[in-house]
């Protein structure tokens, strides 16, 4: 039987999945690495740790291949967007991988918004102005670390660095390139104006290729280390967001993918690039005649983790004593509270926010607290706040691509019945939960199968994906949400002028809080 491996290089781990030709999972490995956050707003990874994790994952799943019965047709990638690594002339890293979650370039992002350059570039690149993008990171590095910037010979992302180690060539797929903010989605090439703003030359960037491009001629050392033939093709693949849509079969017109993992996103596929006049949503390439329009949010399941660890320590301890999952206990507690949390609203901006407000300084807020509200209300309000924010992304998306026809929902939250129903009620849409395992890795594998001639069309992914649950909106609940969502939207906008002020205060005094108060003379 023919097999293919989907490799999903994420923010904190590499997920490696071995599939057979029918999309059935035969092997799985999840290999983690550190997200370095040494200073305020920093979020970096060590590219060598990522490389080692990927090698380990491939070794693990290949143990499931029977050489007498199975043929490994190829390996295909997904990778997190927006990473940036500076390399010297010998292709050695001068920096760690600066990830999408790094906010140190926030001041330069704000300047691009104020002077109008950010919007002009967005209209050509499809990438909203935000410190996540390598474009803005490059401006920050050029100004804040000029000597380091001058030493750089190449500017690449995580996937490009890994492929250079494996194959000795610098190539970048259209999808990852699209997410840099340096790529013109209408010309399908690096954008001259964006390069000028970033201070980067064309010859400092990898060669551009389509997402179905096959890399061959694997370094003999790594071929032996992994345990595969050096002629095994590696399909360069795409970025994680677009591939997540593919992996849950949300690629037909009007089918929306809503994902809540650590972070979250709302995305829909269109047949051509589309731009939002207000700059609220992204537009990223997946494959020929397939573009993914949507918005990512920083604050998904990570908010629920904060609720568990900071607000609900007694419940967490109780769950440990009862040998049950703390999240299951908290959702059970939240389910006792009526929809709308009796007028308690939570703005879930604990880590700044991307779509739809694109404000790295945004901060979280409980609004409407009264003496009657309990910790249970605060739990439910936090869960609702995450979905409210995703719904505001959907509202922006509707202006660009029209109303959704159906929703495919995935991510860690999908195992919670409460959260699935909440999504259906707030969006007022039927919500389907696909049974596909590791949707992003499946998306990578499907793209690989298409490149390798194992399937005739990317739409064949539907044969690999089923539905385990369908939730319909509850009229009683969505009536409450209809009243509260406008308040949520107005509140988030009214507070925006103060986000930068409170964020600056927190940055200025962060060291004071770490060391404690000091005596004054």
DSSP for 426-449? HHTS-EEEE--SSHHHHHHHHHHH
**Termini Cα distance of the chain:** 78
**Given this chain, do its domains 2-240 and 309-391+475-509 carry the same CATH topology?**
yes
Give the tens place of pLDDT for each residue, 107-136.
999 999 999 999 999 999 999 999 999 999
DSSP for 332-399? HHHTTSPTTGGG-EEE--BTBB-TTT-BTT---EEES--TT--HHHHHHHHHHHHHHHHHHHHHHHHH
Cis ω on the peptide bond leading into residue 356 (within 30° of 0)? Answer: yes
Give the tens place of pLDDT for each residue, 160-173.
999 999 999 999 99
What residues contact residue 11 under an 8 Å CB cut-off, 6+ apart?
35, 45, 80, 99, 100, 101, 262
Q: Which CATH number is associated with domain 309-391+475-509?
A: 3.30.420.40
Six token digits for residue 306 = 């904060």
Q: What does the pLDDT read at residue 145?
A: 97
Is the pLDDT assigned to residue 465 strictly greater than 80?
A: yes
Q: What does the pLDDT read at residue 515?
A: 64
Mean pLDDT confidence for 50-58: 98
The structure tokens 């003379």 sit at 521
Is the pLDDT assigned to residue 519 strictly greater than 70?
A: no
In whole angstroms, give the CA distance from residue 349 to residue 263.
Answer: 11
Residue predicted with more confidence, 218 or 518: 218
Residue in 55, 1, 9 with CA at minimum distance from that of residue 443: 9
Segments making up each domain of the chain, as ranges: 2-240, 243-298+411-471, 309-391+475-509
Mean pLDDT confidence for 311-337: 96
Which class would CATH give 2-240? alpha beta
Is residue 257 within 8 A of residue 242, CB to CB? The reply is: no
Q: What does the pLDDT read at residue 521?
A: 42
Determine the topology of domain 243-298+411-471 in CATH.
Nucleotidyltransferase; domain 5 (3.30.420)
* Window from 59-73, 168-182, 184-198, 374-388 with minimum mean pLDDT: 59-73
Six token digits for residue 42 = 């920093």
In whole angstroms, give the CA distance from residue 223 to residue 233.
Answer: 11
Give the tens place of pLDDT for each residue, 143-163.
999 999 999 999 999 999 999
Share the mean pLDDT of the chain.
Answer: 95
In whole angstroms, give the CA distance from residue 113 to residue 130.
Answer: 9
Residue predicted with more confidence, 413 or 213: 213
């Amino acid at each position: 039987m023919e097999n293919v491996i989907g490799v999903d290089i994420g923010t904190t781990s590499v997920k490696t999945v071995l599939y057979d030709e029918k999309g059935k999972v035969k092997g799985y490995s999840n290999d983690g690495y550190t997200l370095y956050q040494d200073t305020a707003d920093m979020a970096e990874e060590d590219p060598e740790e990522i490389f080692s994790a990927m090698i380990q994952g491939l070794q693990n799943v290949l143990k499931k291949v029977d050489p007498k019965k199975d043929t490994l047709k190829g390996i295909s990638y997904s990778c997190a967007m927006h990473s940036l690594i500076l390399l010297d002339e010998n292709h050695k890293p001068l920096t760690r991988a600066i990830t999408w979650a790094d906010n140190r370039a926030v001041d330069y992002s704000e300047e691009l918004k104020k002077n109008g350059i950010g919007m002009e570039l967005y209209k050509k690149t499809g990438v909203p102005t935000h410190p996540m993008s390598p474009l803005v990171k490059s401006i920050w590095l050029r100004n804040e670390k000029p000597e380091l910037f001058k030493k750089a010979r190449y500017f690449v992302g995580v996937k490009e660095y890994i492929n250079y180690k494996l194959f000795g060539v610098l190539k970048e797929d259209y999808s990852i390139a699209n997410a840099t903010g340096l790529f013109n989605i209408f010309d399908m090439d690096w954008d001259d104006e964006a390069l000028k703003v970033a201070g980067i030359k064309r010859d400092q960037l990898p060669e551009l290729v389509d997402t179905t491009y096959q890399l061959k001629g694997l370094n003999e050392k790594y071929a032996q280390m992994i345990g595969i033939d050096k002629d095994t093709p590696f399909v360069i693949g795409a970025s994680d967001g677009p591939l997540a849509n593919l992996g849950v079969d949300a690629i037909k017109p009007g089918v929306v993918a809503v994902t809540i993992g650590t972070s979250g996103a709302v995305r829909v596929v269109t047949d051509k690039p589309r731009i939002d006049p207000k700059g609220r949503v992204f537009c990223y390439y997946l494959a020929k005649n397939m573009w993914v329009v949507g918005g990512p949010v920083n604050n998904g399941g990570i908010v629920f983790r904060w609720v568990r660890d900071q607000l609900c320590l007694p419940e967490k301890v109780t769950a440990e004593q009862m040998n049950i999952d703390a999240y299951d206990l908290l959702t059970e507690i939240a389910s006792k509270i009526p929809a709308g949390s009796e007028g308690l609203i939570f703005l879930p901006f604990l880590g700044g926010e991307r779509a739809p407000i694109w404000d790295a300084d945004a901060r979280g807020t409980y609004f409407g607290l009264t003496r009657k509200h309990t910790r249970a209300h605060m739990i439910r309000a936090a869960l609702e706040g995450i979905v409210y924010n995703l719904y505001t992304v959907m509202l922006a998306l509707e202006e660009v691509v029209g109303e959704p026809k159906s929703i495919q929902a995935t991510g860690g939250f999908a195992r919670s019945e409460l959260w699935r129903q909440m999504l259906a009620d707030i969006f007022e849409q039927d919500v389907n939960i696909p049974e596909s395992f590791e949707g992003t890795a499946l998306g990578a594998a499907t793209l690989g199968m298409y490149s390798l001639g194992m399937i005739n069309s990317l739409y064949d992914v539907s044969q690999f994906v089923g539905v385990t649950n369908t939730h319909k909106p509850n009229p009683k609940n969505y009536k409450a949400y209809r009243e509260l969502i406008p308040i949520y939207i107005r509140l988030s906008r009214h507070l925006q002028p103060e986000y930068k002020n409170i964020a600056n205060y927190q940055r200025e005094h962060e060291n004071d809080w770490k060391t404690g108060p000091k005596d004054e003379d």
